[in-house]
C-alpha cells in the first residue's frame, strides 16, 4: 500500500480485488484546516477482495462499510465484508428505481453525467441524506463508502462530504475526475474490445466518463436550487448537530 498521488501523503490505496480506493483526507477546508486522513475513504466494487485485503482493512482499523449500490447489484456481487464480524456493513440503495438519461439526448458528456447526478439529488434526496448520515457519523469511522465503479454515486457522495467540509469546488471536481486514472483497467476488462477506440487512455476515459465539468455543474445545481450543500442536507433530514459533529471530527 505505497502508491502516492501527492508527494507527501497517500491518496490512492491499491487494494487487491478492488478499484479506485482513495482517501478523502488532506484537502483544504474551513478555517485553514484540512480534512482528516485515514478517516473516510471512497471505493469501487468490493466483492472480489482477497483474504489478505480483508485482513489489511481490519488491520487499518476500518470499522464501517457503506454500500451505495442497487439491490440487484448486491445480489449479483455481494460485498466481501458484508458478513464480517469485525466491520459494520450498511446498505443504502442510492439510485434505486431511477432511469438514467438517454445518452443520445446529450451532445456533451459532462451534460449527460450531470443529468444523472442532478436526477439523483433531486429525486432521491431522502436516500442521499440517509446515506450521508451514515457516512458522516464519526462513530462509524474509519469508513469506506462505495458503489460499482466508485465514481458516480460515490462521486456525488464525496462531493457532498468535501463541500460540507469547506473544500473548494475546484478541488472537489479534481477529486471526482481523479477516478479516471484508476478505472481504465476496469473499463478494458468489462468493455468488449470492438467497442474500445484504438489508443484509448485514461485521459480519454476522463473526458467521456468523469469530466470535471459534470461535478462542477452538480455543485452549482445544489447551490442554485437548494442554497448550498448544507441547506440541501438539512432540508433532507440531516440535523445541524450532525453537521457540527461531522465538521468537528473530520477537520484538523
Q: Which residue has the higher pLDDT, 97 or 5?
A: 97
Show the cell assigned to 227. 442554497
- From residue 228, alpha-carbon distances to 128, 150, 244, 250 in Å are 15, 24, 16, 19
Helix (H) or strand (E) holding 40: strand 40-43
13 found inside a domain: no
Report DSSP letters for 88-144, one per residue: EEEE--SSTT--PPPGGG-SSHHHHHHHHHHHHHHHSHHHHHHHHHHHT-GGG-SEE
pLDDT band at 59 (very low <50, low <70, confident <90, very high): confident
Show the cell assigned to 130. 440517509
Domain boundaries, position 199: 22-98+105-250
pLDDT band at 5 (very low <50, low <70, confident <90, very high): very low
The whole-angstrom separation of Cα 213 and Cα 218 is 8
The whole-angstrom separation of Cα 131 and Cα 34 is 23
Question: Using one digit for the tens of pLDDT, what is the confidence trace for 7-52?
Answer: 334 799 999 999 999 999 999 999 999 999 999 999 999 999 999 9
Question: Using one digit for the tens of pLDDT, what is the confidence trace for 117-155?
Answer: 999 999 999 999 999 999 999 999 999 999 999 999 999
213 found inside a domain: yes
Show the cell assigned to 170. 475546484
118 found inside a domain: yes
27 found inside a domain: yes
Pick from 53, 50, 58: nearest CA to 13: 53
68 found inside a domain: yes
180 found inside a domain: yes
- CATH number of domain containing 49: 3.90.190.10
Collapsed DSSP state (helix, strand, coil) of residue 145: strand
The pLDDT > 70 percentage for the chain reads 96
6 found inside a domain: no
- From residue 5, alpha-carbon distances to 12, 73, 89, 111, 251 in Å are 7, 30, 28, 28, 21
CB 159 within 8 A of CB 218: yes
What is the Cβ-side half-sphere exposure of residue 126, based on CA atoms within 13 angstroms? Answer: 1
3 found inside a domain: no
**Domains contained in the chain, number:** 1
Amino acid at each position: 500500500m505505497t502508491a502516492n498521488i501527492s508527494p507527501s501523503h497517500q491518496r490512492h490505496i491499491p487494494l487487491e480485488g478492488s478499484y479506485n480506493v482513495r482517501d478523502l483526507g488532506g484537502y483544504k477546508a474551513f478555517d485553514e484546516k484540512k480534512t482528516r486522513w485515514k478517516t473516510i475513504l471512497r471505493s469501487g466494487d468490493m466483492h472480489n477482495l482477497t483474504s489478505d485485503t480483508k485482513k489489511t482493512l481490519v488491520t487499518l482499523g476500518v470499522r464501517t462499510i457503506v454500500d451505495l449500490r442497487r439491490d440487484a447489484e448486491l445480489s449479483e456481487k455481494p460485498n466481501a465484508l458484508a458478513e464480517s464480524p469485525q466491520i459494520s456493513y450498511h446498505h443504502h440503495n442510492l439510485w434505486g428505481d431511477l432511469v438514467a438519461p438517454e445518452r443520445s439526448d446529450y451532445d456533451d458528456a459532462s451534460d449527460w453525467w450531470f443529468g444523472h447526478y442532478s436526477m439523483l439529488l433531486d429525486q432521491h434526496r431522502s436516500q442521499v441524506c440517509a446515506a450521508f448520515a451514515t457516512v458522516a457519523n464519526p462513530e462509524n469511522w474509519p469508513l469506506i463508502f462505495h458503489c460499482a465503479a466508485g465514481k458516480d454515486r460515490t462521486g456525488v457522495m464525496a462531493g457532498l462530504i468535501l463541500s460540507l467540509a469547506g473544500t473548494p469546488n475546484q478541488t472537489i471536481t479534481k477529486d471526482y475526475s481523479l477516478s479516471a486514472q484508476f478505472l481504465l483497467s476496469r473499463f478494458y476488462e468489462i468493455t468488449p474490445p470492438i467497442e474500445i477506440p484504438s489508443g484509448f487512455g485514461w485521459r480519454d476515459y476522463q473526458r467521456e466518463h468523469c469530466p470535471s465539468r459534470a461535478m462542477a455543474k452538480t455543485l452549482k445545481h445544489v447551490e442554485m436550487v437548494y442554497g448550498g450543500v448544507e441547506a440541501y442536507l438539512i432540508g433532507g433530514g440531516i440535523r445541524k448537530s450532525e453537521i457540527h459533529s461531522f465538521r468537528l471530527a473530520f477537520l484538523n
